[in-house]
Each structure stands twice: as C-alpha cells, then as structure tokens.
Structure 1
C-alpha cells in the first residue's frame, strides 16, 4: 500500500451557505492538519464552495459540492453515499448539528468507520417544546462516535441541556494562528488612514455577522451616550448579514451614522484589529468566538458579553471586560471606562495577548483534534490506519 493510500481520508462536512466563525474554524484546522497522516476533503453546498474555493485550492484541499437540505433530497443523499464509498472515506467530521444530522446516518450506510461532530455553538435560536426537548439530537447522536465541544461551556450545554451520552463528548477549545496577530507593533498600513479616520480618533472594532445573535442593536443603542463624551469615536462594524439594512436605519434614526462605519465582510481581520483601540462583541450567545481570541492576540482590550465560552478567553478586569447581554447601559459604561483610562486599557491588551498565546494557539486545537482522530481509530480496531506514523 502506498503512503498516499494509507493516509486517513477525512471529509469535513459543512451544510451552511455563508462564511462565519465555523467556516473559519474549518479553514484553520485544514491549514495546519498533518498532511503526511491525513488527507482532508471538504463537502459543502455550491454557494459555500464558491466562497471558500480560492483558500481551499491554495491548501490543496479538494471540494465535493453537495447540499442535503431535507430528508427528501434523495438524489444528493445517494450522491453522497456513492462519493464516500468511491473515495473510501475513513472519517466524516461534520460541523454543527444540522450538518451531522444530514451526513452521519448516510456515512454509516456507506460504511464509513468514524463519524465526528464539532458542536460550535449553543443553539439558542431553537424555540418551542419539541425543538428544545432535543430528542432528535439524541436520536441522531447514535450515528455519531464523538462530539467535539469548542469550549467547556459548550460541553456543559451538550451534556446538561441536550442530554448527550457523556462518553461521546470531548473538549477541544478553539484556537488561532497567534503569530498572524502580532501584538508588538502597529501595522504599517492603518485602517484609520484608509477610511479617512483621524489617527487620534478612538476606533472600536466589532467583527461579527449582522445577525440577531450578535446583539448589534444593543450596541447601537449605547453609542449616543458614548459620543456625547467622545464625539470623534468611530465604531467599525465588519460583517454582512440579514440585519444590514435594519441596523443602518437604526444608526440613522439615532443620528450616530457619522460615527458608525458598516464595512461589510473583511478578509483582513489582522489589520483591522491591530489598527483598533478596543474590540467589542455584544453577542447573545456563542460557542467560543475566534474573533475574541484574535482581538486579544492583537493586543487590544476586549469588551464582550459573558455568554457561553467567551469567559474562557476574556478574564474580566485583567484582559478585558465581561458584560451582561442585551444591556446598552453596561456597554456604554464599559466603553467609557476604557476610553477614560487608556493605560488600563493598554495593560489589559498586553495581558490578553500573553494569555491567548499560552492557551489558544492553533497548534493546541490541531493536536487535540488529531488525537481524537487517532483515539477513535484505535478504539475501532482499525489496525491499518492506527499504524499510520506520527510525523511531527
């Protein structure tokens, strides 16, 4: 058997149509996965394939375009089973429950040995007795060998709320390439200069999809009081989403549109963060947000809601400020505290950079994920794959 044939073939299954934190998580994992042991393939809807194609091609990761939207998508379900059998896939690693529900039963039918789900977020949008009973989740978990929680809080949600079998849940905290966010120096090209923002104007970055989950409406309500004291402050909102028009109308209604820039999706998060003075994330729920880790790595203080896994990254009063969600008054107070005390803010940023470099580097996430792959392979008694050597 050739070295190529003996690689562990892993399908990363995504059933989403937009790019967000989950998709960035997958891209980072693929970038640093040990290619001497693993051969990854991405299976995702065509619209997402178009968004990710350039980056995946640069990483030499193949794409199989497929979308399973309902149990009646028989044609695509059969195509997926055929693909798995033809490619002799060893592991199907789905991201979010919607994706594991669509892929893991089919994977088992195709003879795939191992199925894994990464559960990236608490599903707070699920309402009603039936949806929050999570019976469907427990049913489909029978076809899942392991569920990776991206934070300790995420694991608690899986165990205590969803009622997932404890032996199936393992924690691998999110990570980033901390080297890409050099906190030691300001960038040569500043976002402020590019956007015509005066260099001495405070810049507060908010990188998040414009969706209800992210709590932008409460942030905008807080801004009028902030600009009364700091009339030159600028809030840079980077991200796209269904609330774009509504949020722009809200900013105009509050007469703060001069202080708020809707920048759309940005691929230069490093530059944006290193040009900013504060990062703010007013989410209503999360998993373990990559962007908070990125902001800390860039050396700027973070103000974020104390939801789910976020407190695992932000140490309140040390690396940033944790606030309650849905509270514009608390947002105002926290922003003013950091603007009024720039030395305190600077020290928070420095401590945050040190903390995430020690605890949230991508190498730790990749190592933990690869360890789960090999542990499951060994547990299944797959001797030919268990003998794939570690290449360092």
Structure 2
C-alpha cells in the first residue's frame, strides 16, 4: 500500500491493554473485520510485548501494534511513549481509548497532540479493585479528566457508561449507548448440532453439555460454575462441562476440578476461533459473572439459539427478550441454578427470523455498528 493511499484513509489509534480474546477485544475485531478498510486504518497501542491472540489478524488487515510500557512502571514513561507514537505513526484522526478510568491519562495526551476525535469507551461496570480511599480519589480524578478531554463518551451498556462517566443528567446526556455487536452472518445458517463437540470430546451422543466461554478471572466466577456443575453431575452423571478461554485463574480451576474428581466430565478447550460452532453444540450456556459491562458472549449464545442461565449482575441490555435467558441472584443456592438449567434445556430454539429481528432491534448488528463508528471517526456523529 502506497503512502499516498494510506494518507487518504482515516487513521484511528486504539488504546488497549492487549489484544487477547476477551469481550472488548472481540468487539474491536468484529468492527475491524466489517468496517470499510479502504476508508480507515486501525493502529493499536498495547501494554505488553507478548504476542496476543488477535495480533496476526490485525497485521494481516493492515493494522500496526505498538507496545508501550505498563503504567505501573511510571505514568511519565507511558505518556512520553504515547506522545512519541502519535508523532511517529500519526497524524491520527481519532483516538479510541478502551482502558476504563485510565482513559483519563490517555485523552489529555491526545488532546495536547491535537487529535480531533477523542473517544472514551467504557466496557465494564467494575475495575475489580477494592473501594479504598485512594481508589475512589483515582476514579474521581480520572472521570474529571475524561469528561474534560473527550469528544465522545460511549458505553456498551447504560450501567457501564454510568460507572466510568458518572450518572448526572449532563453526563448521561453526553454518553452514547454502543452495544457490543456481532457478525450475524455467522449465525444465520447455524443449526443446533451437538455432534461437533461430541466428536471432539469423544463423549456419548446423549450427553448433556453445559458450556461457558470467558477469561479465567475472578469476574467470571469459575469457582461457582464448578460448584454448580459438581452438584448437577450428581443428578445427571452423563453431563459434561466445557470451559472455553484462558487466563490467570485457569491453573487454580484445573486444580479445583481434579480435587473434586471431575476431570472426566470437565473439558478445558482453551482459546478458540470456532465459538459459534461450540455454542451450537451445547445444551445450556452458564454465565454467573460477578459483574459485566455487557457480556458479548451472551449475545452470541442467544444468536446461536442457546438457552442461557445467568446472574442478575449482567446488564439487562444483553437479554434479547426472546425467552432464552433465565437470571438468578448469585446468592441463590446451587439447587436453584440446577433447576434453572433443567428448565432451560426444554426451551424451544427460536426461528432465525425472530432471532435476527431481535438482534437488529437491540443494536447488535455489526454492519450497522461499524457504520455508526465510522461516522463518529469522521466527526459526523
């Protein structure tokens, strides 16, 4: 690609932690795959030197990955690195910051470097930190910096927007709801077919398959998932649990599974690119998160026609309201969760036309979201 052609494109700098397979990263990649790349180029600032799940695909699509020092090594070092990146790889038409409250560091640098479109994007309803006095001061200060230096505030749910940007009428009026959209074409002709996982796992054709997809972090509540499944297995000895993902807590969960002697029935599938086919193979999707900005995988599960049993901590926007979701309190006992799983297993799969209409009405069509984001980058929204 010639420099002349490149300069005609809208150049956007995404600021993330690392481009691994998780909710916000999946959204960015869904956008990148479907946005008009003849009009736009994405670059990525990351806080790691390790190769990540989406790196190869980003490079194949013409994006660049620029490593910065972790903020804990010093804010001055991070700010200097960001300024250098903007000067060397820019000029940028937009900066899109996905790093929660830390956007309060990113956006002032972007404003100083005259980037016209400066987006703060909230993807979660918690930063997983304790509510210490210092943490509260940090959040308050960063919120002020975000509001002062951003041109656009967007959140994947109402709760996610309020968490980072505040809940006063002025702030709520400024923040826009931007759902975590998915590629509907992947699910249009997808049929329920348990044989996909049955063959891979070499389990019986009449097995009950419960699935969970998510990073192995405290947020996703894997310990509770194992607790629920262990009790469910006593009632259905032919049940199997598939866990898709990776993360710091994986080794602890593997150890817990072996301690409970569940190794023959719990399957760790790692990071996968065939999520829609895995979803088409399971009977129930289990999602008892402690908190979520939205939970894009819950949207994907419903798109695949899978009944879902979730915690009430999940924002209501993630429920397509088509009868596939049952929500419970985390304080409810395991028997309540087991009952919900059993009730969900007899739910009829909705027709695709109804699913598609609900997904579009709720704002989960990636084509519409990509165009909307392009309009923001161009300054038209």
* TM tier relative to shorter chain: 0.7 to 0.9
Picking from 210, 214, 225, the partner of 1:219 is 225
Q: Distance in 1 between matches of 2:54 and 2:176?
A: 28
Show the counterpart of 2:376.
Answer: 372
TM-score, normalised to structure 2's length? 0.87
Q: Which residue of the other structure, out of 296, 321, 327, is the alignment partner of 1:322?
A: 327
Deviations 1:129-151 (A, max 9, x none): 33235312223212222221111
Give the one of 157, 178, 181 matched to 1:175. Answer: 181
Q: 1:37 aligns with which of 36, 39, 44?
A: 39
> What is the aligned counterpart of 1:65 among 67, 84, 89?
67
Shift of 1:258: 2.5
Aligned counterparts, 1:134-213, within 5 A = 134-141=139-146, 142-160=148-166, 165-182=171-188, 184-186=190-192, 190-213=196-219
Is the CA contact 1:319–1:348 (under 8 Å) kept in the aligned structure 2?
no
- 2:246 corresponds to 1:240: yes
Runs of 5+ in structure 1 lacking a partner?
Answer: 380-392
Q: Distance in 2 between matches of 1:185 and 1:306?
A: 29
Q: Cα distance 1:357–1:204, how it changes in 2: closer, same or farther (>3 A)?
A: farther
Change over 3 Å in CA distance of 1:347–1:228 after alignment to 2: farther
Task: Output the aligned Cα RMSD.
Answer: 2.9
Which deviations, in whole Å up to 9, do the C-alpha atoms of 1:175-215 show, x marking residues without a partner?
A: 10011124542459712201112121011110011111011
On the 8 A contact 1:15/1:99 being kept in 2, the answer is: no
**Which shows bigger deviation, 347-356 or 360-369?**
347-356
> What is the deviation of 1:48?
5.5
**C-alpha spacing 1:220/1:137, structure 2 compared with 1 (3 Å):** same
Specify every segment of 5 or more residues in structure 2 that has no aligned partner in the other structure, as ranges. none
**TM-superposed deviation, 1:42:** 1.6
Gap change, CA 1:241 and 1:164, over 3 Å in 2:
farther
**Counterpart of 2:79 in 1: which secondary structure?**
helix
Aligned residue for 1:384? none
Q: CA deviation at 1:345?
A: 4.4
Question: Equivalents in 1 of 2:360, 2:202: separation in Å?
Answer: 32
How many residue pairs match? The answer is 373
Task: State the partner residue of 2:278.
Answer: 272
CA distance in 2, matches of 1:6, 1:17: 26
Write out aligned runs for 1:1-392 (5 A).
Answer: 4-16=6-18, 18-47=20-49, 49-70=51-72, 72=74, 74-86=76-88, 87-123=90-126, 125-127=128-130, 128-132=132-136, 134-141=139-146, 142-160=148-166, 165-182=171-188, 184-186=190-192, 190-309=196-315, 311-315=316-320, 318-327=323-332, 328-339=334-345, 342=346, 344-347=347-350, 352=355, 355-356=358-359, 358-359=361-362, 360-374=364-378, 377=379
| Matched position secondary structure for 1:81 | helix
Distance 1:331 1:164, change over 3 A: farther
